[in-house]
Amino acid sequence: MSQQSNISNLWQKLVDSETAYVQSRVNFLKNCSNKVSWIQAALHNPAQRGTALRLLNYLSLDDRQSLFQDVLELASVSHSDIDYCRQAILTLPKQWLLANIENAAETLLDDSSDEEYRRLLELYLQIDLALTQRLTIRALQHNNPDIREVGEDFDLYLRKGQLPLAV
């Protein structure tokens, strides 16, 4: 078998797999009466999380808002799907986000490390500068020196108008 034929077969398998995925996604969304519960459970399973996050785009606004706390929790720590988490959050209406995100993040910040502060500040920068400033001030006043350092980093970003590389 020639290399061209081999590549052609690989390509066709990829196309067939994509078609099967789309059909499976449509069937799941159309026929599952408790899809939010399934997706919520999958968000907490690293092997299923990517699929669940990609499905969020196909849910109603109410369903996405009901999963907000779960997705925000995932957006507060580093993992391979963090960009999907951020993208899902950023699809929510900005005014709704501004009205809800600080209360939702409060439980995450209670026993947090510098990582949660840094990941949330990276997300906040994409939402609103005043929101970012409030969390930056909180980090600067924290008794944990690592969290204060995160606050110093973001204070510098805000003062200079430079975004951190991770955003």
Residues 21-60 pLDDT 10s: 999 999 999 999 999 999 999 999 999 999 999 999 999 9
Contact between 117 and 139 (Cβ < 8 Å): yes
Contacts of 19 (CB under 8 A, 6+ apart): none
Confidence band for 163, pLDDT divided at 50, 70 and 90 = low
pTM for this model (two decimals):
0.89
Residue 165 has pLDDT above 80, yes or no: no
Q: What end-to-end distance do the CA atoms of the chain give, in Å?
A: 46
